[in-house]
Amino acid sequence: MQSSPTDPAESIQQEAPLQLLLFVDRRPSSREQIRTIRNRLKNLEAETPFALEVIDVGEQPYLAEHFKLVATPALLKICPEPRQTLAGSDLVKQLEHWWPRWQRAAEEYLAAQTAGGKKLHPEGNPSSVARSTELIYLSDEIFRLNQANEKLQEQLQFKDLIISMLAHDLRNPLTAASIALETLEMAYQQNADTQRASRLTPELMAQLLRHARTQTRSIDRMITDILQAARGSSTELCIYPQGIDVRELCLEVLDALQEQLQGKNLEVWVDIPADLPRVYADRERMRQVLMNLMDNAMKYTPPGGKIGISGLHRTTQKVQITICDDGPGIPEENREKIFEDRFRLKRDEGQAGYGIGLALCQRIIRAHYGQIWVDSAPQQGSCFHFTLPVYRA
C-alpha cells in the first residue's frame, strides 16, 4: 500500500508492532523489487505482524530528506527503535539476515507495551514521523513560495524601472525623428502651396531622412533589448547561423552610426583584414552585438576621442572582433559583473540605459559557442573582445 504519512489507513497499520517503510524510485526494476520484497515479507508475516508502506521518493522527496536516504531502494525499520536502514540491490538477503532480530525486538516491544497498558505507538513514534515529515514538506513549500515571491517582486521592480526609463530614453530619439520628419513635411507643404521648389536641397533632404531612419532604428534596438531581457536568461536564445562576412557587417554598422559619430566628432579607426574568414553566425544577432558595443563605446568616449574596431583570425577555428574606446575604463572588480543581467556601474546609475546590453551580448555570443570579455584600465579606455566560429563550407 502507498499513502501519505498522515493517511488514515496508515493509522490502522500502526497497530502492528513492527513498522517498515520501503523507499523506491520509478525505475522499471523498482516494481520487481517491490514484488520480491512483498512476497518475502508475506512469508514472514505469520511470525510477526508488521505494517509496510511503499513510498515513491519522486512523489514524497521530503520523506527521503527526513530519513536522510542516500540510495534507493531502501527498507527502513522505524519501530521498534532503534531505527535501521537497509539499502542496496540485495535487500531480500539483508532482510533475511536481520529479520530474526527485528522479530525479537517487536515481541519485546509488544510485551512491554501490553504489560504497561499503553498503546503500541504512543506520542513520539510513527505518528511523530508523520508530523516531522509534514513539517519538512511545509517548510519546503514555504521556501518555494518565498522564492516565487522574490522573483515576482524582482520582475515588478524591473517593469517599473523599464517604464520609467522608456519614458526618458525614448523621448530623445522620438523627438529627433519627429523634427526631421516635420521639417520634410513643411518643405513639401510649402512646395505644394507655392508651386515652387523647396528651399531644402536634395542633400539636406537625404540627410534628414537618414537622421529619421537612424533614430527609429535606435528606438527599435531599445525595444528589442528590453523584450529580450524580459524573457529572462533561462529562455533559450534562438539563432539562425550562416556563413557571413563579419568585416562587411562591421562596416555596415559603422555606416549606420555615422551621424552619431559625427555628432560627437569621434574618430574611428578600422583594422579588419580583407581576407578575414567568414564566420558561422546569425547576422541579425551579430548586428545586435555590434550595435550594443558601439553604442557603449560612443557613450563613454569623450567628444573628439577615438573608437577602434579590429578583426583577427585568432585560431584556425575562431575569429576575434575587438571594439575599443577612449572612455574612463572599468574597475577591475567589475569586469566580470558588467556581463550580469541588469548590472550597472555606480557611475552610470543616473544615466540612460537598462544595464541589459552587455548581458544580451554575452548570451548571444555564448549561443554561438564563442566568448566575450573586456580589457580595461582606469582612465585608459576599454576594449571588448568576442570570438566567433569560422565558417566551414
pLDDT tier at 383, thresholds 50, 70, 90: very high
Tell me: the pLDDT tens digits for 271-301? 999 999 999 999 988 988 998 899 889 988 9
**pLDDT at site 275:** 93
Tell me: the pLDDT tens digits for 155-211? 776 666 666 555 555 666 777 788 888 888 887 777 666 655 556 777 888 878 877
What is the average pLDDT score of the chain?
78
Cell of 250: 562591421
CA 386/CA 292 separation, integer angstroms: 13
- Ordered domains of the chain (ranges, CATH): 8-140 (3.40.30.10), 152-230 (1.10.287), 242-389 (3.30.565.10)
**pLDDT at site 30:** 76
pTM of the model: 0.49
Average pLDDT over residues 72-84: 85
Query: Which range is least confidently modeled, 72-81, 337-346, 364-373?
Result: 337-346
The share of the chain scoring above pLDDT 70, in percent, equals 75
* CA nearest to 254, candidates 297, 203, 216: 297
**pLDDT at site 350:** 47
**pLDDT at site 3:** 39
